[in-house]
Amino acid sequence: MLKLEKFEQAVPCLSLIKSVEARTLDWNEVSAELGTDLPQDFMELAEWYPAFFLADFLSLHLPDPGAEVAFARAMKESLESLDELHEEGMSEGYAPYPAPGGLLPWGDSAEGDNFYWRTGGDSPDSWTVVVETSNGYWMTYEGTLTAYLTGLVTGTVAPDGLPSSFPGENPTVFI
């Protein structure tokens, strides 16, 4: 929960959309549909928050209770464009999941950027972040999703390839 707390401290307005009590999500259904578990920090985020936009730019894809299978299927469907880029040699060597080390999406932006986990390693908690920007720039972050978001907001992670104004001071959130 520590990683989520740091993100909440960096974005105080998250409290406006936080659930009063943890949302019950069936992670076994998500895992069965995807063929993998997801990182703990992501699951904690989803248990307290609905899908939301950060700074009117980045959309975090989070499941809703009762719609876990649909969420997982949407994740897999969104890999079709990455698969096309990969087949055309335009993905900097990144392949879509379930390829070893393949990418699995967790968000996108209002400008066509895509945010992924690079799967593999000892467990989903060791997955790192890969960003594909709308202008064809690929960037990696060697940390978790919530550490990446916290770093963007606090300024310790550069928004490489993203608009320089993102996320700005005191970014807003909305659902």
pLDDT digits (tens, 9 = 90+) for 55-65: 999 999 999 99
Check residue 74 and give its pLDDT: 96
Query: 169 falls in which pLDDT band (50, 70, 90)?
Result: confident
Split into its structural domains, the chain has a count of 1
Query: 138 falls in which pLDDT band (50, 70, 90)?
Result: very high
Range of the domain at 86: 2-159+166-174
Q: For the full predicted model, state whether its pTM sits above 0.85.
A: yes
* CATH of residue 131: 3.40.1580
Q: Which residue has the tokens 């909305």?
A: 174
Cα separation, 111 vs 76, in Å, equals: 21
Alpha carbon separation from 52 to 43, 85, 87, 91, 103 (Å, rounded): 15, 27, 31, 27, 21
Mean per-residue pLDDT for 32-43? 97
Check residue 1 and give its pLDDT: 58
